[in-house]
Amino acid sequence: MADRYDTFEDLAADLQEGVDYRIRSSDRGTSVVLLAPHGGTIEPETAEIAEAIAGSDLSFYAFEALKSGAHGDFHITSHRFDEPGAVGLVGKADTSVAIHGRKDGDDDAVWLGGRATALRDAIGAALREAGFDATPNKRLPGVHKMNICNRTRSGAGVQLELSRSLRRRLAGNPALLDAFSTAVRTAIRTPPGN
């Protein structure tokens, strides 16, 4: 389904914050931001997963739809996602890791994308070491320079696409979510090449 809104300004003119959607943000001054631009009912569990990875020490941002509706009702495509708080927070960071949701399909792998290729590959390796399947994202590669994950100081970030079934399993199993979050955090905290 096509997006109903092309920009955040269009969405905000038509919908009410606190009723239709909410924005949660914690600027902790870190070089990496965890974000979920399609949280709430858009791509369920993505905000909770991003928040779990951020923990209490990494910067975090989530845009969450509060009402049900078709996927495109609140979804703003990542390269058009221009909510000012997200753009400002991501723009102060060296890189970002965006958590996205996708439909179930042929595999349950985490699809790895984004322009920060060294961090992307490190996250993939850490996830595989922790027992998760992770593969390069050929369908939704997240390499557009205006993609919210790439609007960092370096011009690069990472985009992780998680299937619906994997998101449900992570949300329903705190130990599994902790293992997933720890793997991503380990890759973030270990400079590529070490």
> Mind listing the domains of the chain with CATH numbers?
8-189 (3.40.630.100)
Pairing relationship of beta strands 21-26 and 32-40 according to DSSP bridges: unpaired
Q: Which residue has the tokens 């606190």?
A: 18
pLDDT tens digit sequence for 166-185: 999 999 999 999 999 999 99
pLDDT tens digit sequence for 86-110: 999 999 999 999 999 999 987 889 9
Look at residue 105 in the predicted model and tell me its pLDDT: 81
Write out the two tokens for 52: 């779990």
pLDDT band for position 194 (50/70/90)?
A: very low
Q: Sign of dihedral through CA atoms 158, 89, 54, 47?
A: negative
Amino acid at 24: R
How far is it, in rounded angstroms, from Cα 4 to Cα 13? 12
Q: Which residues contact 18 (CB under 8 A, 6 or more apart)?
A: none
- Rounded to the nearest integer, the mean pLDDT of the chain is 94
